[in-house]
Structures are given as C-alpha cells and as structure tokens.
A and B are shown apart, each in its own frame.
With several copies, the nearest count.
Chain A
C-alpha cells in the first residue's frame, strides 16, 4: 500500500464528508441518515442555505444547540437534541414521509454496507447475524429521494470491497443509488456501472480498482 493511499484511508472521514457537502446545491432539501451522514450538516459553508429534513417531522433542522439552549421537545431522527433554522416547519410522520416518498427531497445521504454497480443498496441488515433487524426509514428514503448519495468507507475494516458487482447483503432498495462518496473518491452509478467523478488527492484509478469488486470506469 502506497503512503498516499494509506494517508487517504487514515483520513478521519472529514475530507470525504466535506467533499459531499460541497456538491450539495444551494436551496436543496436534504435528508441525512444517522451516523456519518449527519456530519454533512456541519460542513455547509456559511452564507449557503440548505434545508435539512428529519423524518420525525422537521424541515429546517439546525445544528446541535448549546446545553442551555436545548428545547427538550425537539429531537432529530437520531433522537438527539437539535435546533430550528429560519424558515423551518413542523409536521407529522405521514406528511414527513409524503415528502420522502413523493420525491420532494432533493437528496438523501445514507450510509452503506454495500453498493452494487446497478445502484442496488444494502444498508439495513447483515446476511446472517442480525438477530434483531431494524429498518427505520432507510427503505423509504432510498426509494423516495430524488438523489441518493451513499457516504461510506471504500472497504470494510477487513479490507473487503463495499462497491460490488452484486450485493451479497439483503437489499434496502434496488437501483437506488446515484453516487457513492468514499475516502478514495466520488463515484457515479451509471448505466455501464461505476464511473469516477473525483479522485481523492494522491489516489489513482488503479488504487480504486484494486479495492473495488466491480469495474471502475475512469
């Protein structure tokens, strides 16, 4: 493994999250899945206006409030305290998922176990071990949003590929993913499979291909 690649892989996920945040257009309505995707909200530059949606009934979700400004009646989909930005609106769960399922959310950012070159997404349960499967809103978001971008490490901790020909994990949704953001780059899901949009600094196409179980088109 080259030194630059090692460095990219050792990145604390900030760079890939920032890269994704930079690709969000002003004025978009964006839902962020729990975990790493949540951090995207902190990386929207000042002066830009993006409206964040939380499936439990918030549009215009703002950052974590200071301890003394917490409104105990306001939590996000991860059950953490949040704030409201100007222009926010509140609604119930059926209206919230009407936004999602009805194609009104411009972008949903999700984590992933596997993404296949046909856009299949697996991010909700493992093939065998998950005694207690929990799906939450993942399936609704994956089929409903106008764009689905997956933000994840390029490989598992054991080095196994997560960008694959066909998912081996149970699907969240077929043909759902538009882009994948990893520490190695940004990859579009196209009719011919994965295509590079951006490579991280010091990363070559060959580096990516070596860590991917499907053809990567330059």
Chain B
C-alpha cells in the first residue's frame, strides 16, 4: 500500500546530507515549511545550496537560522533583503548569492520539474542580471537563455495531504510549493492536516511529486499574531 505519511520530522528529513541542494517553498509567512526548516537546522547538514524566493527575516528561525549556523554555502533567490544574518555573511564574503528575477526563478524551477533543460525569456535582457548569459532574438525581442533548476530536496508546506501524497493548498500558500515539489529528487511536505482522500478534481500537487508527508500544526497564525503585536 502506498503511504507516504511519516511519524515525525526526524523521519521526514532522514538522509539529507552535506552539500545538498535544498528548495524551500513559501512567500512571506504563508506556505513556509517552517517546522521542516527548523528541524533541518537541528540535523545540521553543511555546505547546503538553498533555492528560495527570500533569504528570510529572523535569525531565530527559517533560512537565516540555517545561515547563522554556518550550514549554507550559497543561496539562489530573487529577494535577499530582510535578515541581517544574510547581509552580514554576504558582505563578509562568507556566502554566495545568485540573484534571479522572481518569474525566471519560478520558471527555472518549473522547467526543472518538467524535464526542460533550458528556455528563453525577455526578462533581464539588457540588464546587469543578463551578464554572461547567452542572448538571442525571437520575433524582434532580445531574450536570455535560462537553465532549469533542480534540487536534491524540496521542503514544502501544504494545507492538506492524503496517504498518496496528493496535496491541496490554502490562500496564497501555493506560491513556490507546487513547482518545487516537482523539481526535487526527494520532496518532503509538512501538511497542516491529513485527509483520508482528496477530490481528484481539486488536487493541486499530484502525489507522484511527493515522497514524504509529515503532519505539523501550522505556525502561520502565531506568526501573524506576533507581527501584529510588534
């Protein structure tokens, strides 16, 4: 019987090793696989490459915590501002940054999952971020060639999951999660709820893209409450 549910965070993260390329979903406080990221920090694999939209906000949790522990060699993202942890490491030359426009980042990840090695886009053509990239004109428009991104591991948050690993999301919680789930060798999901069976018509991420699911009470509500209080 197919059953991708695992008992706890340790079982969910088993086997992640030094040097892993790790995609981490989420946009703002929503859709962050926060429990998985914090458990990864405890596990402590080193020399990680992180692919995410942001570099995170607070040194106490999430991606900045991974960085603060010295576990991250490089980050590929569109918006590294927010945490002083990244800024300090970056200015000290202790972490590498690949800055990618947000839509190009999303498409590179989607292509990684879809078996498309490279594509062309007008985004960034004629700008500093196209330096060193191959340029080609289609229908009179200059485009840059962008290569797919894949990962060893994707950490994903979902609203509900079933035993087959089918996922549904809530609100703006999809963001990078469904495409990262497609692009990694090992996709690990923290789900707010387990469902017995999801309606085939409304599933967003089919279970084929998912390897393990762990149930975790969402911290979105708590985070938002804290934000409001501050």
| A–B: direct contact at CB < 8 Å | yes
Residue ranges of A at the interface with B (Cβ–Cβ < 8 Å): 26-27, 29, 49, 51, 53-60, 67, 70-76, 79, 81, 84, 86-94, 96-105, 125, 131-141, 143-144, 170-174
| A-B CB pair tally, cutoff 8 Å | 210
Q: Is B126 an interface residue (CB 8 A)?
A: yes
Q: Choose one: B1, B27, B90, B159; the contact of A93 (CB below 8 Å).
A: B27
The residue in B109, B169, B171, B201 that gathers the most chain A C-beta atoms within 10 A of its C-beta is: B171
If A29-B208, A90-B200, A137-B102 are given as contacts, then 15 extra A-B residue pairs at C-beta distance below 8 Å, sorted by A number, are A67-B228, A72-B220, A73-B30, A73-B159, A76-B172, A87-B162, A93-B106, A93-B175, A96-B106, A101-B115, A101-B121, A104-B208, A133-B99, A140-B104, A173-B123
Q: Choose one: B86, B123, B175, B198; the contact of A139 (CB below 8 Å).
A: B123
Q: Choose one: B166, B177, B221, B228; the contact of A89 (CB below 8 Å).
A: B166
Q: Is B39 an interface residue (CB 8 A)?
A: no
Q: Are A137 and B115 in contact (CB under 8 A)?
A: no
Q: Choose one: A51, A57, A67, A75; the contact of B29 (CB below 8 Å).
A: A75
- Write out the residue numbers on chain B whose beta carbons fall within 8 Å of the beta carbon of A96: 103, 106
Q: Choose one: A71, A74, A93, A140; the contact of B123 (CB below 8 Å).
A: A140
A-B residue pairs in contact (CB < 8 Å), sample of 26:
A27-B2, A54-B172, A55-B103, A56-B172, A57-B27, A57-B172, A60-B200, A67-B228, A72-B223, A73-B173, A75-B30, A89-B207, A90-B171, A93-B27, A93-B103, A96-B103, A97-B103, A97-B107, A98-B115, A101-B114, A134-B78, A134-B80, A135-B101, A139-B127, A174-B125, A174-B126
**Which 6 pairs between the two chains have the least Cβ-Cβ distance?**
A140-B103, A97-B103, A73-B171, A101-B115, A79-B28, A98-B114
Q: How far is the CA of A202 from the CA of B163 in the complex (A)?
A: 43
Distance to closest chain A CB from B155 (angstroms): 16
Please give me the residue from chain B that is nearest to A133 by CB atom. B99
- Write out the residue numbers on chain B whose beta carbons fall within 8 Å of the beta carbon of A81: 224
Q: Are A71 and B171 in contact (CB under 8 A)?
A: yes
Q: Are B78 and A170 in contact (CB under 8 A)?
A: no
Q: Is B18 an interface residue (CB 8 A)?
A: no
Q: Are B200 and A88 in contact (CB under 8 A)?
A: yes
Distance to closest chain A CB from B160 (angstroms): 12
Q: How far is the CA of A126 from the CA of B169 in the complex (A)?
A: 37
Please give me the residue from chain A that is nearest to B104 by CB atom. A140
Q: How far is the CA of A56 from the CA of B123 in the complex (A)?
A: 17
- Write out the residue numbers on chain B whose beta carbons fall within 8 Å of the beta carbon of A27: 2
Q: Is B124 an interface residue (CB 8 A)?
A: yes
Q: How far is the CA of A76 from the CA of B204 in the complex (A)?
A: 20
The residue in B125, B126, B129, B200 that gathers the most chain A C-beta atoms within 10 A of its C-beta is: B200
Q: How far is the CA of A153 from the CA of B158 in the complex (A)?
A: 41
Q: How far is the CA of A144 from the CA of B125 in the complex (A)?
A: 12
Q: Choose one: B126, B166, B174, B221; the contact of A173 (CB below 8 Å).
A: B126
Q: Are A73 and B101 in contact (CB under 8 A)?
A: no
Q: Choose one: A53, A87, A105, A132; the contact of B163 (CB below 8 Å).
A: A87
Given the interface pairs A73-B30, A131-B87, the reply to whether A91 lies near B174 with Cβ below 8 Å is yes
